[in-house]
Chains A and B, each alone.
Chain A
Amino acid sequence: MDRRKKNTVVCMLFALLLSGGFVLCLFLPKPVYSDSERRGLSPMPKLSADSVWSGRYMSDFENYAADAFPFRDTFRSIKALTAGGIFYRQDNNGIYVSDGYIAAMEYPVNEDSMNRAVERFRYICEKYLTDENKVYLSVIPDKNCFLAKESGHLSIDYAEFERKMAKKADFAVYIPVSDLLEKEDYYKTDTHWRQEKIADVADRLAQSMNTALVQDYETHTLTEDFYGVYYGQAALPLMPDTLQYMTGEAIENCMVYDWQNGVEISVYDMEKALGRDPYEMFLSGSLSLITVENKNAGTDKELVLFRDSFGSSIAPLLVSGYSKITLVDIRYIHPDLLGQFIDFSGCDVLFLYSTLVLNHSETIK
């Protein structure tokens, strides 16, 4: 190709790409929700003299233009592949893949966040609990704990993190569980642990809280592929997970009540298993207050479990050891309201939180 011809081709190609992009941006249907990122996409802003004069229209339009760009997920994949394949970046927006597992680089330690979490826990203890209550704390390490050492990514010092949390939360007995966990206990594409792999953790918690579990489970596997939350964030072509859940007599016969919506629900929500985030099948996902009653329990022990989403999948495994478990997510309900719903007398109280929440505790109310 000679120079003149090349210049003409460059001009035509540039015009085609820009005008093609322009036409597609204008006329392709705009999605309102990104499944891969688990978030609503910015809508087209409304034009008004006030929004233009204040500059709000322009900044909203910038967000809209990036969110509504045609083939957004494909472009995000191109970016992730370029970052790793051409620039040899070790992580893409803090997300990395190691040994087929996708993980977020949890780093560095946020001491203020730890302090905040502990203070919120302390507030609950001082407001509602007496010497009759036994209080426990357990920290669930995130997947980065097991992957970073092998892959050379940055990670917090998890042992030190646990030690500090145990020391700060001097009102609670610390129950270590990290020695029972390994990377295989987590989903490859999601943040959470696999329910079928944490029976030993449930047993450790139960024993430490002086109760016994009946661990006679049957494992079920969902036929649909499970693409976890990290899958969308990584934007890389990776294999999906399979999602399994455990049933047993206590789990099948218990009664679950969702106080947030005032309805009875099931332990495993099969509708949610087919939804946007299948992990929400465990106790219907992010609900602020749930009670699980086990009328056939051989004990009258009750547990109040302050938890994050990791708690949703382990709580069913604890059911056989208690007559009632109350699950509270203080990211969605203010602790001051708990007195209206929970009678703490004589209950065991367990604060069970992942490092992901403890290190970013601004979400805790």
Chain B
Amino acid sequence: MLFSSITFLYYFLPLTIFMYFLVPEPFKNAVLLFCSLVFYAWGEPKYVLLMGLSILLGYGFGLLIEKYRKKKLGQIFCIISVVTTLSFLVYFKYADFFIYNFNAVTGFKIPLLHIALPIGISFYTFQIISYTLDVYRGEAAQKNVLHLAAYVAMFPQLIAGPIVRYSDIADQLKNRKHTWDMAAEGIRRFVIGLAKKILIANQLGELCNLFRNAQEKSVLFYWMYALAFSLHIYFDFSGYSDMAIGLGRIFGFRFQENFQYPYISKSITEFWRRWHISLGSWFRDYVYIPLGGNRVSKGRHVLNILIVWMLTGFWHGAAWNFIVWGLLFALFLTIEKLWLLKELKKSRVLSRIYTLFLVMISFVIFNAADLGQAVTDIGGLFGAGGIPLASAEALYYLKSFASVLALGVIGATPAVRNAVCYLSDRPVGGRIVNGVEPIALAALLFVMTAYLVDGSFNPFLYFRF
């Protein structure tokens, strides 16, 4: 089920909130789990069993790892747990990629499996792994399977993150408060996230589709596409994270922030501290640091960076362009660590231009159907193939999407948040903000409902991960 759907907003969510706040405290996790399973089954009825099995394995191994933590057996259980959980992900997400490439290299003709990717498997797999690894490192295992299942399957973050660490919400699973202030904060965050998704990301996605189907490509159109997709993926993904964080607040949870205005970064290093923070920190804590991090020789350090970023790219999709995308970041992160970071500090403007340029190029690679298209798209940005500088089509869509693009650019900076904070901190301004906010949120909800009613095609980008 999509958050940005009539079914979620006007059927699932009211019922879930009603049931959740109706039952006494000890049953809230059970209600949350039940609703989460319904939420998941709505899109993937068959794969609920797979998720259930993953949770049960995580639960069982967690208890075993805790019991034998200080012994060799604990390490063995931990390895088995990680391998088993990962094997589901590898089978469902990467099997065809490996078979295809194996066939290409060896000339064999092993048939592809064409398995449908279970929604959210990349996210909940990483959550279960983080749980068992945290237990291995000393965190207490969850004795109540309902609580663990509620953590893994919790619908706000189930299908698109953020990747919530068990250690971050272990206490909240047992004891959490519910207040008007928290709920209002959650509602505000949810509505803003939904607006980012429906009003900005979806429209920019439309521009990207128009570009793909365009009859007349031009340099201008390629750049519009690169900008539109960079903003689209940010508003889509950060909007979804905002909705997840907001829903979590309504139910009394505090999830980790996942985005911190990444497009104002002055280096790729900073960009990855602000972009998909939960994934970056997951790879840092469970892959990069165990590999030795930067406390190793220079060569080994570079190798660690390459491994982590190749895996990061591969996590996003089973295709070579995702691996190249990850390795591109590895290259620039290494260059920055070795030399460039100091140079970038000399000019705030140039460092931002450098970062945005690289990020846009990276997302062109990211969104290509394959490496061939990535090369064509990047070539198009620089006029390869003798395409014209501009075309009537590009100019028309520039005019038609100028406001959305401008709104996207402004919304990707903290300008609006800072302005609201500035106003809120003043006595009169604060009263105005407090008075306007409920009306603005209600108006936004109305307009977004109108967009949902009008359009039936509303795919969510991160499902494929």
Chain A residues at the B interface, C-beta cutoff of 8 Å: 1-11, 13-15, 17-19, 21-22, 25, 52-55, 58, 61-63, 65-66, 69, 72, 75-76, 78-80, 82, 86-91, 93, 107-109, 152-154, 235
Contact = CB atoms under 8 A, between A and B. Distances in A.
B403 A88 contact: yes
B80 interface: no
Contact of B453 (A9, A22, A62, A72): A72
Contacts of A8: 180, 184
A284 to B, nearest CB: 32
A11 B407 CA distance: 27
B441 to A, nearest CB: 6
Interface stretch (B1-9, B28-36, B167-175, B379-387): B1-9
Given A10-B184, A62-B5, A3 B453 contact: no
Interface in B129-183: 180-181, 183
A218 to B, nearest CB: 43
B115 to A, nearest CB: 15
Contact of A65 (B5, B14, B393, B442): B5
B339 interface: no
Nearest to A7: B184
B453 A79 contact: yes
A17 B442 contact: yes
Contact of A1 (B45, B431, B456): B431
Contact of B438 (A6, A18, A109): A6
A152 B398 CA distance: 12
A22 B15 contact: yes
A320 B94 CA distance: 71
Interface stretch (B233-241, B347-355, B443-451): B443-451
Contact of B449 (A75, A108, A109): A75
Given A10-B188, A13-B438, A65-B10, A58 B452 contact: no
What's the dominant secondary structure at chain B's contact region? helix
Contact of B399 (A13, A15, A76, A90): A90
Nearest to B191: A14
Given A4-B181, A9-B438, A55-B45, A21 B10 contact: yes
B9 A18 contact: yes
Interface centre among B9, B399, B452, B453 (most CB of A within 10 A): B453
Contact of A109 (B215, B437, B441): B215
Interface residues of B, number: 59
A7 B180 contact: yes
Given A1-B434, A79-B454, A87-B199, 20 more contacts: A7-B180, A7-B183, A11-B180, A14-B187, A17-B445, A18-B10, A19-B14, A22-B10, A22-B11, A25-B6, A25-B10, A55-B45, A65-B10, A66-B453, A66-B456, A79-B455, A82-B451, A89-B400, A93-B455, A108-B214
Contacts of B438: 6, 9-10, 13
A229 B97 CA distance: 47
Contacts of A69: 6, 10, 449, 453
B10 A11 contact: no
Contacts of A5: 434
A112 to B, nearest CB: 13
Interface in B416-454: 430-431, 434-435, 437-438, 441-442, 445-447, 449-454
Given A75-B450, A88-B402, A11 B215 contact: no
B180 A153 contact: no
Contact of A75 (B183, B185, B402, B454): B454
A91 B401 CA distance: 10
Given A4-B180, A7-B180, A62-B7, A76 B453 contact: yes
A287 to B, nearest CB: 31
Nearest to B402: A88
Contacts of B181: 3-4, 7
B396 A58 contact: no
B153 to A, nearest CB: 17
A15 B446 CA distance: 14
B67 interface: no
Given A75-B449, A109-B215, A53 B46 contact: yes
A10 B440 CA distance: 10
Contact of B7 (A3, A65, A72, A91): A65
A83 B58 CA distance: 47
A154 B393 contact: yes
Contacts of B199: 87
A19 B191 CA distance: 16
A152 B399 contact: yes
Contacts of A22: 10-11, 14-15
Interface string B192-224: 000000010001000000000011100000000
B156 to A, nearest CB: 16
A69 B185 CA distance: 28
B308 to A, nearest CB: 36
B264 interface: no
Contacts of A2: 434
Interface centre among B400, B403, B455 (most CB of A within 10 A): B400
A61 B185 CA distance: 31
Contacts of B399: 90, 152
Contacts of A63: 456
B17 interface: yes
A334 B310 CA distance: 56
A53 B47 CA distance: 10
A58 B6 contact: no
Nearest to A110: B215
B184 A11 contact: yes
Contacts of A91: 400
A330 to B, nearest CB: 28
Given A1-B435, A9-B438, A90 B6 contact: no
